[in-house]
Amino acid sequence: MSSMGSTLGSEAASDTSTAVYDQEPFETFQARVLKLCQTVFGSLTSKETSVERLRGGGFNRIIGISIIAKDCATPKEYILRIPRFDAAQIEQDLAPLRLLHGRGELAVPELITFDTTSENALGSPYMIQRRLPGSDLFSIFPTMPHETRCALAQELGQVFSTLHTIRSNVAGNLRLSPSGESLMIQPFHSTEASAASAYSNQPSTQTTADMLCAALEYKKELSRANGSIDVLRADFFTSFITVAKEMSTLRILDQNDYCLCHLDLEPRNILVHNSSAKTPVISGILDWDSAIFGPLFMSCSPPMWLWAWDEEEDEDERLANDIPATFKQRQLKQLFEDAAGQVYARFAYTAQYRLGRRLARFAIDGLRSNEDFVDADLFLQEWADLRTALRKEAQMT
């Protein structure tokens, strides 16, 4: 388990980010931020406004803003997020927050304002969110009392259960419409703006198998267009399409329900109150820019860290349903499962849906690194073994 990628961490980030991302140094950039604050929050003196550099991620530069209002004893805290590369990314970041605004079951950042253009004091697109209280769970969990962990397990299970109820009629990435007024879903099989459809929570008519095949076929054609340099990648997508069809024949992909999936719901992106006596324990969930609408089983990846915490090792999902070693660990797992509900119970632990999650990630993310190619080889072999076992099981019943 790794804490890399945390949005909120130490207040003094490394100077290497300036060089790596070719960004303006904070020492001069903060003057732009202060000027933006004057525009957003009204006329303020230097004593009423302070900014701080926070650890950003690979896609966003993060600045903390504190406003000391004359009629308020405590500062109002905000987070300024500036995309590092693609300006269009901010529309992807904004859309989930728009979707979840007002849903009290999920502690998400409140959006204050945004600008998708560069016509502002920063000279860049940005968004400002209200800063959520608390510390990242990755830092807190090792010393968290068991009673607090139990409350956390129940709350996290409720988060999973809530995500399963937020549905869409199509799978895809969330986007804002060109006007910024409505939510759109961009299907995984196309990046053309004309392919996007207005968000609707009506029942879907497209099966998961058809959706995955369309996305995989799209990735395959993109690879083929690159010619001989991408033959291996195209071959993998051909194999993935075969797997999707085989899974469909075995009725693994016969659902057509798509729910909201937070694809990075890890301790680094969960904020908790600093006091162990405070409830609720979870004070915020961050990094919704990874959220998509996907098959129900994609939102059922077991949070093994909750009952099998290990800072040094990556989690092996094949072991997720092993009986935990201690009573306290078993209690945490049970509390979480009870709160997560029936959808989680159906899709979390069986090998076919574990592999379904991996296939869906190949369809959505593609093959982007040497590690992905190695993982693709392992996936195909594991599926071949499971397919044989499932077919034998079907013949015996």
Question: Where exactly are the structural domains of the chain?
Answer: 16-132, 133-397
The answer to whether 12 and 28 are in contact (CB under 8 A) is no
Mean pLDDT over all residues of the chain?
A: 89
Statement: residue 172 has pLDDT above 80: yes
Whether the link from the prior residue into 280 is cis, omega within 30° of 0, is yes
Q: What percent of the chain clears pLDDT 70, i.e. is strictly above it?
A: 93
In terms of Cα–Cα distance, which of 169, 359, 363, 350 is closest to 259? Answer: 169
Q: What percent of the chain is predicted at pLDDT more than 90?
A: 70
What CATH number has the domain spanning 133-397? Answer: 3.90.1200
Sheet holding 167-168, edge to edge: 167-168, 258-261, 292-295, 172-176, 183-186, 197-198
CATH, domain 16-132, list 3.40.309.10, 3.40.50.920, 3.30.70.1350, 3.30.200.20: 3.30.200.20
* pTM for the whole structure: 0.89
Tokens representing 62? 């993060």
pLDDT class of 22 with cuts at 50, 70, 90: low
Nearest-CA neighbor of 174 among 84, 100, 270?
A: 100
User: Which has more pLDDT, 180 or 196?
Assistant: 196
In the prediction, which pLDDT does 11 show?
Answer: 39
